Each structure stands twice: as C-alpha cells, then as structure tokens.
Structure 1
Amino acid sequence: MDDERILERERYQIEQILQLESEELQVEEVEESSDDDDVQTNSGGTSASVEFTYDTSLAALHSYLGEVEYTHNRLAFLDGGAVLTLPLFYLEGVVLFPEARLPLRVILPNFIAAVERALRQVDAPYSIGVVRLYRDPNNGKIKFATTGTTAEIRQYRRLEDGSVNIVARGQQRFRLRRHWIDGDGAPCGEVQIIQEDLPLRTPQDAVGKLAPLRNLRIGSVLQMPSLYDSHNQHSWNDGNDSDAISEGSFDSELSSAERMLHRAALVSSYGSDLVEESVSSDDEKFERDLELQTGRSHLDNYEGFMHAEYSKRNEETSSGVGKRALLDNQTCRRVGRRKYSIGHLRYAPRAFWPSWVYHMYDSYILAQRAADRWKHVVRAPSMDGFVMKPDLLSFHIASKIPVSESTRQELLEIDGISYRLRREIELLESLDRIRCKTCQTLIARRSDMLVMSTEGPLGAYANPHGFVHEVTTLFKANGLAIKGLPSKEYSWFPGYAWSIADCASCENHMGWLFTATRKKLKPRSFWGIRSSQVADETR
C-alpha cells in the first residue's frame, strides 16, 4: 500500500512536470539588485522573493533521469564491525550520508559493471559503496577517502545505449580497508561497517538530585583519590571545552604539601562557607603571595605545617643554580586572610561536574539546539521531527548543510552523535559567507540561501555526462559571469532553464543560473553553486 501511495503521488507530480516542460521557453533577463527591500523571509527558505510558487517536491524526484522503476529490495542493516566486499563508486565532489538520496547517471563501462555486480551479489543485494574522490592539495595526486557510506539502489533503469540511471539511498557508514579492480573491470572494495553509538542522555540522578556536601572535612579528602582520576576530563575556558588534560598527572607533579593544598581547595569549592584564591603548583609562581582556596578554620591547622614544609624545600633548593622566592613567616601568616563569602557553594550537588557540562554531551539536548539553529539559519526543511532521533538528525543536517565538500567529509568521519551535533551547531553558528575556493571571491552570504527542493538547500544532481554535483541554491550571488544561452534540456528543476556560471575573477566553473520558463513561476531566477568550488572558510 505504501508503494502504491508513493507511485500515485509521483504520477501526479510527473504530470505537473510534463505541463511545465510543454510551456514555451520564455527566459527573462535577470536583474541583479543589492537592495534587500524586495527580499523577505519565506517558509520556502532563508531568503525568497515576495512570491514563491514553485513546488519544491519536483526537484527531489530527479525526473530528468526519466522513468526509473522501484527495485522493491530492502537490505537489512548490517551489524557494526561486519566486513564485506562491495562494488565501489568513487565520486569527485560528493559526500554521501546515511538516509541521503543519490542520483547516478552511469555511462562508463567499469561503473556499469559495478552496477551489474551489485544487482547479482547475494550477501548485500542492490548495494554499492560510495566514497569521495579528491586531489591532495600538496601534490595534486588522486586519493580516496577512507570513510564512505553504503548505498542501496532503490530505483533503476537501463537505457537502450547500455547506460544505467539509478536513484540510490545512503545506508551505513564504513571504513574502506582496501580496493581493487575485479576481472570484469568493476571497482571493488573491502569495507568494514562502522558501529554507531547510541544517543546519550544525562542520567537523571547525575545532577541536582543528591544532598549537598556541607560537612566534608579536609582529612577525608586528603586520603581519597583525586576526583578526576577515573575520568577523561576537559579544561573549560569561558564555558568552552578545550584540549583534554589529566588531573591525575597534574596531581602527581605536586609536592606533598602542594597536593594537600590543592585538595583542600577542592573541598572548599564543594562545601565550605569561605573560599580563597587558588594556589599554583608552578615553582616560578612562589614569588607571589600564596593565597589558598580554603576556609580559615582549616588553614589554622596547617599554617605551621606549611611553613615547616616550605622551609625544608628552601634548604633543599637554595644550593641550586637558580634562585627561588620562598614562603616566609610573614607570607605564611598572611595566607588565607583574603576571604570571600560564597555561601551558595554550600548547596552544590554531589556531582563531579556541573549540569552544563553534562548537557554538552546529552544527545537529545544537542539535537534540540541543532534543530533550533537550523530553523534560524535555513528554516526549511524543518528538523523538529528528528529531535527525538539525534542520530538521524545529525546525518540529515550533515547531508544538507551548505558548506564545502571537505567540511562535509569531516562530518562523515566523526564518530559519536554528540560530537557530530556539536560540530554542526558550530558550523551553523559560523556560517555566513560563501567564497570561491580558488580566488576567495565573496559569492554570497547566509541570508542569500534559498531552498528549492524538499531535500534542503544542498542536494546532489547528475548531469547527462555522468558527473554528480552537490549544489547549494541561492536567491542571489555576486561575482559570477554567465556563459552561453539558457537551456531547459536535462534541467534539475522542472520549469527552469539553466546557464553556466563562472567566477568572474578566476573563470572557474562555480555553478549555474536558473531562470523561469513561464511568467507565473516564482522565483524568477536563482543560482546553484557547486559545493566542490566553495572555500572551507565559514566565517
């Protein structure tokens, strides 16, 4: 029944496409305008003309491939870690993600052989492996990405000239272990399926549920192991995570006296009424007045001991080459006298980290943040339906976010849902300018993005020569030169004719200008920019 509903809907959409194609080609001149008065926010995308009449579901059908029939084959997901051999498609300028759609126009004999092998293989029927092909910027050599995605052939049609049209769908990520050409000339690869992690949620009893540590004494802390020894931790600066650091290794470098002071500071931060400035374990900082993060009641017990300990250290180091500033009686008595009331710390919950640290790795909280940011930046298609499926959301955003192909390959290689979502939030927050990869000419800004397909502002499309392009659609663009007359043959967007657009500065092929072929179609024109020609810069 589901397939019948899909076919019925697609028949209706194809009728719309045929009606558009029967219209007489009427291409109007494009008037470039930098005035933002005629641009408004629209449900169709970030920026759109005042009127938007185009049916964005038409582009997602890839009707330019002709009639393609459903294969009715559905491969069950493979176990993580499974190793198998697949026919390989290596595509320049394309990064495929799970759940993303991939159109293919297969005309080369070796790739036709790869399709034939996929159709008859038993262990993974109708499945191919897709990896990105790129040139090393240092030496210009062709290289294969080591992380790719399996794709299942969902629609298939063989043409009279022997070529094959395909619509495939991404399935699972894999690591490419090795690749070769088989006896029939088909590219093949040995791949290992990546074991995906499960979405993580902050444990309900981890933060804010336990009693505060009000009566913890220093004596008990000095005998307990470091609070951080059993965990891989991060240092935090202004709320942002940075490189990992081991508190255990820091603790081991302190003298016995310094270690007690350091742990006393930890106690005061969890339960003491009073707190002081922190002491440093760096010998060079002994030149300053040592100010300890501990309450006066605790310090009185240690003042004499600390003076004796540092006096001993003075005798041991005074014969060395360098001079050190040592803790004298006056400094020792002055330690701890600068006190600041932080009574609210008495009620800190018994958790290793504050709640915001846990939230940085809560997949569901990150999914909500990513969906909200997507709604603010791109607007359509909405990601709200995937908030409770953080794994799918991370792949959907990665497959649609309008950034360079190398950045999207980076997203594909990230293991861990929370890490991928955090990187995507960072990209969405920094996404502002689109520049030419070759000459860095400013082409467009974030506000110029336009969604012309239900697949999002970025989609993959195949041309008649077998090349696949990932294209970002824009309402307007700068610094581009149009070449040749408009053509509606093999148009990716039914109802629009296309013209080649080159960078006016370096003359590299940046994309296409699409112009409406009938007066009632809105927007009148838009641009399609190749992601392979977009610079990595996002700020």
Structure 2
Amino acid sequence: MDEERILEIERYQIEQIRQLDLEELQVEEDDGDDDGDDDIPENDYRSSEGASASGEFTYDTSLAALHSYLGDVEDTHNRLAFLDGGAVLNLPMLYLEGVVLFPEARLPLRVIHTHFVAAVERALTQVEAPYTIGVVRVYREPDNGRVRLANIGSTAEIRQYRRLEDGSVNVLARGQQRFRLRRRWIDAKGATCGEVQIIREDSPLRTPRDAVGRLGPVMNLGSNTFRAQPFYSPRTRRLGDWDGNDSDAMSEDSFESELSLQERCLHQSALVSSYNIIHEYASSDDEKLDFEGEVRQGSSRLHKLLGSLHTDYNGRRDGANSALSGGHSFKQVKSERCALGRLREVPRAFWPTWVYHMYDSYSLAQKAADRWKHIVRAPSMDGFVMKPDLLSFHIASKIPVSETMRQELLEIDGISYRLRREIELLESFDRIRCKTCENLIARRSDVLVMSSEGPLGAYVNPHGCVHEVMTLRKANGLAVVGYPVKEHSWFPGYAWSIAECATCDYQTGWLFTAIKKKLKPRSFWGIRSSQVADDMR
C-alpha cells in the first residue's frame, strides 16, 4: 500500500469521525452573542529493536513537548481563573476521537472542520470563560460502529493559536477542569456548543492525627452512629470489674471534635470499611451472631447481655443462670459471650494504619510516585507527592494504557480512588496488544520516554487528526509502509513511516528513524493508544 493511498484512507476516516452524527445535534437559532503466544519471538523478521535500553541516549526530550511542527503560534496572554465547582455554563465544544484530556495536560490542535473552527473563534471572543473550550472524547461502539460522546470531558484553555491562510487554526491548549456534558447543539454561526457543569473536586484526605492507639476497642455496635466505649481487655481487667469509666480512653466524639473536616471524612470512610471487615470476621459457622440485627435493635440488648454475664472465666457465678432464666440457653449465652469477647479485642474507632492509608491521599500519592519511578521511571513524579490532586491527573494523562482505561480514570470522582486505580494499573499492566486482532506488540519493559511530558502524549497531524501516542523502544508484528518522511515530524530529528499490524493490516502507529548519525536512539515506535487493547495483562 503506497503512501498516497494510506493518506486517502486516513482522510476518509477523519471525515467520518468529524461528522459526529451532526444530524442528531439540535440546531438552535440564536444571535451568536450568547455565549496466540504471549512470548515475543526474538527471530521474527517483523520485530524491530529500535532504541537500545543500554545504549547512549542523546535526544533532547524537551523538543517534542514544544510541538514545533505547528509553526509560530501567538500567545493569548490569558490565564483563566478556575471556575467554581458545580457551575453550569455554555461553552464551544470540540469532539475528538482517541483523545482523553486531563487537567494540566497539553493539547495540540490543527482545527480544520468548519464547525470546530467556528467553535475556536467563539472561544477567542466570548465574554464568559474567555479562551476556554470544552473537549470531549468521541468513540465508536464496538458492536455497530455508531459514534458516541463521553459524558465526562475537560475544559481547555487556549494558550497559543495561529490562523492559517486556508482558514484553519493551529492551537496549543491546556486542560483545566473536568465537567459533565449536559446537552449539545450548533449555534447560528455553526459552532458546536454544549451546556456543561463543572465537577466539584474533593480535597486531599490525610490520616487523622495520632490515629492509632488513642482509643480502645468497640463496646457498642448497636447504634446507627458508631460510638466507641472505653478500652477493655481480658488480660488487664475482668468484665465484671468494668464500671463504665476509663480515664485513659478517649471517646470517638471527642476524637472527632479535634479533627478537621477532611480528616473527619477520611476517618468515617475508614470506619465504614472496617466495620464490614469486622462483620465478616466475627461471624463464623460455629458462632452465629446476627450483628446486623444488633445494629437495628440498638444498644439495649448488648448492655443487658453484658449485665447477665458478670462471671469469671471459670463460669462459676450465677450470671449464666440469670441469662438462662431470662430465656437464653447456656449454649446461646456462651456463643454470644465468645463473640462479644472477640469483638471487644478488635479496634473500633482507631483502626490499623493500613486502613487509613487506603484513603489517605498523601500516602497513596507517595506510593503512586514510587510505583511510577520503578515502572515508568520518567518523568519524575516526586514533585507532586504533596499535591495528590495534581499527581493523580499527571499520572492519568501520561500512563501508557489504552484510551478506554484513561477515560475510566477521567470519570473517577475522588482523589484517593483515582490514585488507587492508577497504582493498580501501574502494577498490573504488562502487555501491549493490538485492539483489533489481539496481536502482541510489546511489553511494559519496552516503554521508552521520548518526551519530557512522559511516555504518552498527544500530537496532531497535518489533516487535523489528534493522536495520543505511546513510545516504545521495540515492537513486534508491525509492518512498515512507505518511505520515511521528514516533514511534520512530531520528534525533531526523526523521520516517520506508517506502521501497520502485520496480522490485521490496521494502522497501529509509526516508526521513527533518526536523520542524523549521532542521534540516539536510532529508531523507536509510536503506538496509538486508541489502537491498544484494554486487556494489558
């Protein structure tokens, strides 16, 4: 297949996507003033080693982040203040295939389609949220190929732009805030627009001060609001000696009164999580105790039962007889007593440190940065450890996984939950496969960072199609089509050639080869994240 035919096919695909089912959009008339084998064969002739892991690296990775192929662009000299969470406003919109934009991520654009050019022009002149445009991912349903739009997108602030003679616009934008797309239309001037609601982001959670060891185990599971009681342990005090007072213990109410709002939120999350753990721990085949029933009935039954169990560990007092006379069998009393004794030894309000770390944004941020350093290596995330919210978005925008997984990360509400998912992905992803035929392309160890922005970045071609590309030092099962082209290279000093999957003949990415002899790596691969299978294990 020659280069001209490849480009023709790509133009046809781009035109299909750009239509975006516009016939379904509501056109509103307005005055325009409103705003097989998992092992890679070493002797496969289709494999290319590309960059050597041990070879000298001479390429300046900062060059790719400049997007110099767009030519001279003018700075807007505008830096927009963040919009309030929950705010609803109308924005010009861009619907892009294969692009998941995160806050703080760069987005290069060559806007050609008439509706999108009008949208950019509206963004440059609007009074409300000037230089701001909404970006939403477009995807096709696997069953019928129908074009769909994601419900969650990101606002992008236009930082630089340049109008070209052919009517198109080159743009460099940066992601700002997540939003939910409520409705969409085309205005009277042909600009694609949408009503969006800015998502209210949570604040990072930190483990409460001195969370471990200040409050004793539970004595009351009966109330709907968990209320901790003074500490009791069979090793230090007999049950009959407890008088309800303990100067060394601290109530949960007094503990929570010392916490900030964010610390209290984390503490309550840990309580709910750990109560489920206790419920599973305390219920056994031999000792059936209906804890859910205890919660529903309140604390009175537990206190009554405690009063009936004033006996020593030899069982010689008449507490058990009292319980028997109250309608309880000796076996039932013994079972409930055993269960309660076990439950009293489990911390209730101050849980083990690992429980809080499940929700501590700063602890998770440190773990995510460490995993990134071990697995991806560059760029370093250490500078964002004390800013977990930014770290979660930085990792999400650069992690070399499929487009679908990155959209999943964008849609997660909650810094801690997003970080936990990113840690899981960093630890689990290993294989990079073709989305169409499941052909094994590369492994995690083949990831190569060729841009200061990370191993995955967004780039735009001369036809206006934006690709999110992950760079690899070697790849398997790819066939190179045509001769290397120097013009419009995303990586200055390298020529590009189209690469297809040798199994399904679908364009998977590009092979980049060095133009100068002293430039290293001599070659590397760029794989489209939209052509990577979701299952990367």
Q: TM-score range by the shorter chain?
A: 0.7 to 0.9
Q: Deviations over 1:331-371 (max 9, x none)?
A: 679869999x99xx97x767342221111100000000000
Corresponding residue number in structure 1 for 2:283:
none
Closer/same/farther in 2, CA of residues 516 and 471 from structure 1, 3 Å limit: same
2:231 pairs with one of 184, 205, 213 = 213
1:233 and 2:273 are equivalent in the alignment: yes
Tell me the distance in 2 between the aligned counterparts of 1:185 and 1:262. 74
State the partner residue of 1:505: 503
1:256 offset after TM fit, Å?
10
What secondary structure sits across from 2:80 in the alignment? Answer: coil
Match for residue 143 of structure 1 among 124, 148, 166:
148
Report the residue type matching 1:167 in the other structure. Answer: L
Q: Which residues in structure 2 correspond to 1:166-315 (within 5 Å)? A: 166-210=171-215, 213-214=231-232, 217=239, 232-233=272-273, 250-252=292-294, 260=302, 296=313, 303-304=320-321
**Are the structure 2 counterparts of residues 337 and 252 from structure 1 closer, same or farther at C-alpha, using a change threshold of 3 Å?**
closer
The TM-score with structure 1 as length reference comes to 0.73
Cα distance, 1:193–1:256 mapped onto 2, change above 3 Å: closer
The separation in 2 between residues aligned to 1:309 and 1:432, in whole angstroms, is 63
Residue identity matched to 1:56: T
Change (3 A) 1:228 1:448: closer
Quick one: distance in 1 between partners of 2:114 and 2:305?
70
The range that moved more, 248-257 or 449-458, is 248-257
CA contact (8 A) 2:110 2:171 kept: yes
Amino acid of the structure 2 residue aligned with 1:213: F
- In the aligned structure 1, how far is the partner of 2:519 from the partner of 2:269? 64
**Is the 2:458–2:466 Cα contact (8 Å) retained in structure 1?**
yes
Closer/same/farther in 2, CA of residues 187 and 479 from structure 1, 3 Å limit: same
1:127 corresponding residue in structure 2 = 132
Match of 1:9 in 2: none
CA-CA distance at 1:231 after TM superposition: 5.6
Q: Percent identity?
A: 67
Query: C-alpha separation between the residues in 2 aligned to 1:310 and 1:108?
Result: 81
Whether contact under 8 Å (1:257, 1:309) holds in the other structure is no
Structure 1 position 395 matched with structure 2 position 415: no
Aligned counterpart, 1:455: 453
Match in the other structure for 2:486: 488
Pairs within 5 Å for 1:336-355: 351-355=349-353
Match for residue 321 of structure 1?
none
Normalised to the residue count of structure 2, the TM-score between the two structures is 0.74
How many residue pairs get aligned? The number is: 442
Shift in Å, 1:261: 11
Q: Provide, for residues 217-267 of structure 1, a one-character-per-residue CA deviation record: whole Å limited to 9, x for no partner.
A: 48989xx99x999964367779x9xxxxxx998235899999759997xxx
- Output the CA distance in 1 between the equivalents of 2:243 and 2:148: 58
Change (3 A) 1:504 1:92: same
Which residue of 420, 423, 426 corresponds with 1:422? 420
Partner of 2:6: none
Residues 349 and 443 (structure 1 numbering): CA distance in 2 closer, same or farther, change over 3 Å?
same
Q: Residues 235 and 521 (structure 1 numbering): CA distance in 2 closer, same or farther, change over 3 Å?
A: farther
Aligned CA-pair RMSD: 3.9
CA contact (8 A) 1:39 1:48 kept: no
1:363 matched to 2:361? The reply is yes
CA contact (8 A) 2:270 2:356 kept: no
SS class of match (1:370): helix
SS at match of 2:366: helix
1:50 aligns with 2:55: yes
Residues 1:261 and 1:389: Cα distance change in structure 2 (over 3 Å): same
CA offset at residue 505 of structure 1? 1.0
Secondary structure of 2:484's counterpart equals strand
2:517 maps to 519
Q: What letter corresponds to residue 446 of structure 1 in structure 2? A: R
What 5-or-longer segments of structure 1 have no aligned partner? 1-31, 241-246, 269-293, 312-326
1:160, distance to aligned residue in structure 2 (A):
1.2
Q: Following TM superposition, by how much is the alpha carbon of 1:506 offset from its aligned partner in structure 2, in angstroms?
A: 1.1
Pairing partner for 1:61 from 61, 66, 73: 66
Deviation at 1:470, TM superposition (A): 0.3
CA gap of 1:229–1:389, structure 2 versus 1, over 3 A, is: closer
Name 1:477's counterpart in structure 2. 475
CA 1:304 to 1:367, structure 2 compared with 1: closer, same or farther past 3 Å?
Answer: same
> Are the equivalent residues in 2 in contact too, given 1:295–1:336 (CA < 8 A)?
no
Is 1:432 aligned to 2:430, yes or no?
A: yes
The structural deviation recorded for 1:538 is 2.5
Contact 1:207 1:351 (8 Å CA) reproduced: no
- SS of the residue 2:171 aligns to: strand
Instruction: Return 294-303 or 169-178, whichever deviates more.
Output: 294-303
SS of residue paired to 1:395:
helix
Q: Secondary structure at the match of 2:468?
A: strand
For 1:95 and 1:237, the matched residues in 2 are separated by 37
Please say if residues 251 and 259 of structure 1, whose CA atoms lie closer than 8 Å, have aligned partners that are also in contact: no
* Whole-angstrom CA distance in 1 between matches of 2:453 and 2:268: 45
Q: What's the secondary structure of 1:423's corresponding residue?
A: helix
Question: Does 207-216 or 414-423 show the bigger shift?
Answer: 207-216
Change in CA separation of 1:510 and 1:229 when aligned onto 2, cut-off 3 Å: closer
Q: Hey, what does 1:75 align to over in structure 2?
A: 80
**Alpha-carbon shift at residue 159 of structure 1 (Å):** 1.0
Moved more, 390-399 or 432-441: 432-441
Listed one character per residue, the Cα deviations across residues 477-496 of structure 1 (whole Å, up to 9, x for unaligned) are 11111111111111100111
1:100 and 2:105 matched = yes
Equivalent position SS for 1:461: strand
